[in-house]
């Protein structure tokens, strides 16, 4: 279902890491190490540079040791994307009738499968430019917002819209993504529902056979 979008989605992981660690979500403003939360748009710009360096460092070694790249990517993204919340939404009505263990297992499988499948697309990143569209209004005290970016390259311009929420710890996390008008959250939720119906509501089978490509 999503195979034709895999390369584009792979490139999207360049920006999905909106914070690398909690330290990336804060800025030191004086010698006493007083910290203030960074605005989501500023965080995106900073972490994109870090992620590009990570990609470059794994280009030559990837074919011989892909797991190192996937593990590093996983480390970056797990503190950035609210995988547990996204997975819960993807499960839809089945989340309420599933056990805590099933929800935990699906969140893990969902995360790792996406990273390993679409993370390969990161290595094809070339001369595209990435532009963060400045917010029209100040973020202020908002607890949720959208960050709009554009990936510009020879094959066109791809707009990205990130839904982001402020956590209790003060860091911003991604809760959904729309690429070129395609709502990935809805696509994955419909996919989970279809597989659950096909497998007669057996949640364990859906989890164990989950694939973001729809196979």
According to the model, what pLDDT value does residue 10 have?
A: 54
Residue range 114-168, pLDDT digits in tens:
888 777 877 776 667 878 888 888 888 899 999 898 888 888 888 888 898 998 8
* Residue 202 belongs to domain with CATH number: 3.10.450.710
Average pLDDT, integer, range 24-50? 58
User: Which residue shows structure tokens 């390993």?
Assistant: 116
Residue 32 within a domain:
yes
Of the candidates 61, 48, 57, which has an alpha carbon nearest to the alpha carbon of residue 20? 48
Average pLDDT, integer, range 195-211? 95
Mean pLDDT (the chain, rounded): 80
User: Token pair of 48, please?
Assistant: 């994109």
Number of domains in the chain: 1
**Does the pLDDT of residue 86 top 50, yes or no?**
yes
Distances (CA, A) of 75 to 35, 80, 101: 23, 9, 22
Of the candidates 22, 39, 29, which has an alpha carbon nearest to the alpha carbon of residue 141? 39
Residue 133 within a domain:
yes
User: Which residue shows structure tokens 């970056």?
Assistant: 76
Residue 214 within a domain:
no
Comparing 74-88, 121-135, 163-177, 196-210, the range with the smallest average pLDDT is 121-135
Domain span including residue 190: 3-208
Query: What SS3 state is found at 210?
Result: coil
Residue 158 within a domain:
yes
Residue range 33-43, pLDDT digits in tens:
344 567 888 77
According to the model, what pLDDT value does residue 215 have?
A: 61
Residue 15 within a domain:
yes
């Amino acid at each position: 279902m999503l195979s034709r979008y895999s390369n584009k989605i792979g490139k999207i992981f360049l920006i999905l890491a909106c914070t690398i660690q909690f330290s990336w979500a804060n800025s030191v403003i004086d010698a006493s190490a007083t910290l203030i939360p960074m605005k989501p748009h500023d965080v995106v710009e900073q972490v994109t540079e870090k992620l590009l360096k990570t990609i470059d460092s794994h280009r030559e070694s990837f074919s011989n040791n892909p797991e190192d790249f996937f593990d590093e990517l996983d480390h970056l993204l797990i503190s950035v994307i609210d995988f547990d919340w996204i997975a819960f939404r993807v499960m839809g009505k089945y989340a309420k009738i599933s056990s805590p263990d099933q929800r935990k297992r699906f969140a893990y499988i969902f995360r790792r499968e996406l990273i390993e499948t679409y993370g390969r697309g990161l290595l094809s990143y070339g001369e595209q430019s990435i532009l963060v569209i400045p917010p029209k209004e100040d973020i202020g005290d908002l607890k949720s917002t959208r960050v709009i970016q554009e990936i510009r390259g020879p094959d066109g311009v791809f707009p990205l819209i990130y839904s982001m929420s402020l956590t209790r710890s003060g860091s911003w996390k991604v809760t959904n993504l729309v690429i070129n008008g395609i709502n990935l959250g809805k696509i994955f939720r419909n996919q989970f529902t279809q597989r659950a119906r096909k497998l007669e509501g057996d949640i364990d089978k859906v989890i164990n056979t989950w694939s973001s490509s729809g196979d």
